[in-house]
Amino acid sequence: MSYSLSFFSYNPSHKFTPPSSNLSKFSVSGERTKMLTHIDENNRPKMVDVSDKGVTTRIAVASGIIKMSREAFDAIKNNTGKKGPVLQTAVVSAIMGAKKTSELIPMCHPLLISGINCDIEELTEICAYKLTVSVKIDGKTGVEMEALTGVSVGLLTIYDMIKAIDKTIQITDIALESKSGGKSGDYVRSK
């Protein structure tokens, strides 16, 4: 199932006109049992109200991989790139990306994050680096989007800093690895 940008029709009164079917009663997989939380009963976008939710410790871990040429991989490893220390800059930008998630993704809540950890693993055999971001909060909503945004921004920073060396760079496998806490319980991605 895919959705086009015309999911909602434009009308001059600047109100959303819902499509003919009530998509808020369908999950992405097409099951009728789950509701999309960011769509109200009139199929209008909304930010979820978390005021009645309890505060719990929540942790989310996401990761992604950036693949490149041997020349670019070695430039990063040997710190010979013209734009400075690539991996250190990527860690800082991953942290900044996680912190600014609510400014980038409209329905995300601004959060008082407790901590962010980043780890970069060399994947020498495939000329790649794997970035893992872990985000923790004691709050009313999860931090999955913050972890995923941190990974995305960190990998994009690596891309930006080595694109002069390699035009074949690929960012792949960005995924939520695990989450804990909250109403929906724990999740661990199957390998």
Q: Catalytic: which of 40, 49, 119, 160?
A: 160
Is 160 among the residues known to form the active site? yes
For residues 94 and 77, what is the distance between their CA atoms, to the nearest angstrom?
A: 19
Residue 146 assigned ligand-binding role: yes
- Cβ-based burial of 117 (10 A; exposed 0-12, middle 13-18, buried ≥19): middle
Residue 109 assigned ligand-binding role: yes
Q: In what order do the strands lie in the sheet with 128-139?
A: 115-123, 128-139, 56-67, 170-180, 187-188
For residues 187 and 117, what is the distance between their CA atoms, to the nearest angstrom?
A: 19
Residue 108 assigned ligand-binding role: yes
Residues annotated within a binding site for substrate: 107-109, 145-146
Residues designated catalytic: 160
